[in-house]
Amino acid sequence: MQFTFQAAVPAFAIAIATIASGDVVKLRSGASIDGKILKQTDRAVWVDIGADVVQVDMEQVDSVTREDSGAALQPDVSQLFSTAKDLPTLPPKELAKGLGASVIKVSTPGGLGSGVIISPDGFAITNAHVIQGERSLRATIWVRQPDGSLKRTDIDDVEIEAVSNSLDLALIKLKSPDGKPFPVAPIEGDDSIEAGQRVFAIGNPLGLERTLTEGVVSVPAMQLDGRTYIQTDTPINPGNSGGPLFNMRGEVVGITNMKITLGENVGFAIPARYLKDFVRHREAFAFDKNNPNSGHFYHGGPPRPQPGAPSELEDGSSKPAVVPPRAIPGSDSPNK
């Protein structure tokens, strides 16, 4: 038998749940249901309490604690990032509680952007254009305190590890202020993005720190300048650049990097597959301040004031070659 509750969870269901153990669903009313979570979406959660299966509307849920939640991440030291397996689907408000501390603000003398920590050692991803031409970086993190609050902390010891201007990705490393591991956000492993899929971004648009915006995937692979991007209607603004785009399992599916300014909610994110390839081959993109192809941007040459071929240079090197006239058989005049 399965019970479905949309308004309130009856007291008898909570009483039955007290004999079970394992996963815990805490309700906004203050009560809790202990049992085995069979399924969870962003709209409802199904809990096996022994005698019955209880379906609870997520609007009633304050928090969800899973017995096996600590074993979800699968870090790979050689790749510097983690993936996850069998993560539950949760609403953004629930995911933000755990993921918020992995999102950072990246500040330079020329502006600011966002980033996401992918390694407990402090490796983080941001956009190349956020740190373009800069060497002095500052990262702002939010450290979780014992009471659950977040303490704002600035880190001035930030190193640029790798930069790819073509991918618009940069790998930076932060030094832990207290020597403790950093909280990380998992990267999506299967690259299963679909149109209409719900996603949300956390970043610092216009300097408004730790702002969460939500939307859907408009197009999973939109081609722009020979590369595919995730198009989303999630509001993306200056300051979001370099920040993560999450799915409803709390995995990073993309790195937000641009929007169409003349449109409404037409934003784009770099797919996670590019991010993973960039990190795996970070040696090829290693930052070197003496390498003009790394971490620097060169403007194109000025346009010609008039169309057509360039005029003759002073040294005569661009003077058109003189082609002798070619005679046409049976004609007394040359063909010009």
Per the annotation, the verdict on 129 as an active-site residue is yes
The pTM is what?
A: 0.73
Query: How many CB atoms are closer than 10 A to CB 306?
Result: 7
Higher pLDDT, 274 or 37: 274
* Beta bridge mates, 203: 211
pLDDT digits (tens, 9 = 90+) for 160-208: 999 999 999 999 999 999 899 999 999 998 888 999 999 999 999 999 9
Share of the chain above pLDDT 90, in %: 52
pLDDT for position 322? 56
Per the annotation, the verdict on 23 as an active-site residue is no
Q: Are 95 and 66 in contact (CB under 8 A)?
A: no
* CA 160-100-78 angle, 5° bins: 45
Distance CA 87, CA 39 (A): 11
Active-site residue, selected from the candidate residues 119, 129, 164, 218: 129
pLDDT for position 263? 83
pLDDT digits (tens, 9 = 90+) for 69-91: 554 677 666 678 989 887 888 88
Per the annotation, the verdict on 281 as an active-site residue is no
**Cα-flanking dihedrals φ and ψ of residue 101, to 5°?**
-75, -15
Active-site residue, selected from the candidate residues 48, 107, 168, 218: 168
pLDDT digits (tens, 9 = 90+) for 34-83: 998 888 876 788 999 888 899 998 888 887 787 765 546 776 666 789 89
Res. 114: pLDDT tops 60 = yes
Active-site residue, selected from the candidate residues 241, 294, 311, 332: 241
Structure tokens at 176: 């832990």
pLDDT for position 68? 65
Tell me, what amino acid is at 295?
A: G
pLDDT digits (tens, 9 = 90+) for 221-273: 999 988 999 999 999 999 999 999 999 999 999 999 999 988 889 999 999 99
pLDDT for position 19? 39
Higher pLDDT, 112 or 28: 112
Res. 319: pLDDT tops 80 = no
Domains observed in the chain: 2-67 (2.30.30.100), 73-174 (2.40.10.10), 198-272 (2.40.10.10)
